[in-house]
Chain A
Amino acid sequence: MDLKAEQRGDLLIVTAMGDRIDAAGAIQFKDRMREITEAPTRRVLLDLSRVSFLDSSGLGAVVAVMKALGPDRKLELAGLTPTVQKVFRLTRMDSVFTIHPAVPDRGQPGLRDAG
């Protein structure tokens, strides 16, 4: 699973480039996220718009990433595709994360001031 990171102020936007976060890739995803989020931004936004499938191992990895960020940093999600959204809803994890419909455009005030 390739991840691409872009820093905008105190927001780090990480884009998952692969189409699935599953049992075969969950550990690698978690490790790559840990490396990328070493940049000390207050908020991390994970763009999942290219991910068409996430299983319970993938979900566990996303939860683990959020916990590893510690209490002072937030993990937010954007661009959940229908099947991924279903997994979050069924496990009630949609109430745990802030979920954006899409990655906001550069310079959008809502994004800069949110949090």
Chain B
Amino acid sequence: MPGDSLRRLVPQEAADQARIVIRADPMAVRDGLRALFDMPVLRAMPETERGVAQIVLAEALNNIVEHAYAGGDGVIRVSLRRQRADLLCQIEDQGAPMPGGVLPAGVPHPAAAREDLPEGGFGWHMIRALSRNLRYRRSDGRNHLSFRLDARRPAP
């Protein structure tokens, strides 16, 4: 019976994926991240991997608020899906495209004197260092960012 198979599928899907729509505002990003990290797919991950996911997702979302929407109104769609040992993350917004159509390099800061230390620009460096298969594409007036993270500790 179709109803039976649907009932069996729903909890499985809920445990393997999460979706959320977040308003482009720093406080909404904070609340949205809290809500996401309460969902089963992220709760199931080990502490270290959850921490990495929190860093990467926060940087990606805050970049969209600060640069793509630049303080203007808008929404950000986040979709997370567990695929075997990976967490596949897709983020979509309708803000301004990436300058030049490519992701920033995000190089680490050079050794600088104390007064020359940067107070920003760390975000893309961390995203690049902690994610895999990082892709950006602009289509239909939307930015599509996707990457993979470890959903569980790599086997020894």
Contacts and interface: CB of A to CB of B under 8 A. Distances in A.
Secondary structure call for the B interface: helix
Interface residues of A, number: 25
A15 B55 CA distance: 22
Given A23-B29, A66-B114, A83 B122 contact: no
B29 A24 contact: yes
Which interface class (under 10, 10 to 19, 20 to 34, 35 or more) fits B?
20 to 34
B58 interface: yes
A59 interface: yes
A90 B130 contact: yes
Contacts, number: 82
Secondary structure call for the A interface: helix
Interface of A: 20, 22-25, 53, 55-57, 59-61, 63-64, 66-67, 71, 82-83, 86-87, 90-92, 96
A29 B16 CA distance: 36
Contacts of A22: 26, 29-30, 58, 62
A70 B126 CA distance: 28
B129 interface: yes
A67 B117 contact: yes
28 contacts: A22-B26, A22-B30, A22-B62, A23-B26, A23-B58, A23-B62, A23-B65, A24-B26, A24-B30, A53-B58, A55-B55, A56-B62, A56-B120, A56-B122, A60-B119, A60-B120, A63-B118, A66-B117, A82-B51, A83-B51, A83-B52, A86-B55, A90-B108, A90-B125, A91-B108, A91-B125, A91-B126, A96-B114
Nearest to A26: B26
A96 B115 CA distance: 11
